[in-house]
Amino acid sequence: MADNPPAAYDEVADAYSRALDPDGAGLVDPVLTDLIGDVAGMDVLSLACGQGQDARLLARLGARVTGVDFSEEMLRYARRHEADQPRGISYVHGDAQDLEAFEDGSLDGVVCHMALMDIPGLAPTIASVARVLRKGGWFVFSIVHPCYGGHVAILADYLLDHRYEKRVPPDWLPAYAYHRPLGSYVDVLTRVGLRIERVVEAHHPASNPDGVPGLLYARVAKG
Q: What CATH number should be reported for the domain holding residue 123? A: 3.40.50.150
Domain that holds residue 143: 8-222
3 SS3 class: coil
Query: What pLDDT does residue 6 have?
Result: 53
Helices marked H in 37-117 — which ranges? Answer: 53-60, 72-84
Q: What is the dihedral of CA 189, 119, 53, 85, to 10 degrees?
A: 110
Does any domain span residue 3?
no
Q: Which residue has the higher pLDDT, 204 or 202?
A: 202
Query: Which is higher by pLDDT, 160 or 194?
Result: 194
- Whether 180 is covered by a domain: the verdict is yes
Instruction: Note whether 18 and 172 are within 8 A (CB).
Output: yes
Query: Cis omega before residue 170 (within 30°)?
Result: no
pLDDT recorded at residue 102: 98
pTM value?
0.92
For a pLDDT cut of 90, what percent of the chain falls above it?
A: 72
* SS3 label, residue 12: helix
Residues whose CB is less than 8 angstroms from the CB of residue 183 and which lie 6 or more positions away in sequence, other chains included: none
Instruction: Tell me, yes or no, whether 175 lies in a domain.
Output: yes
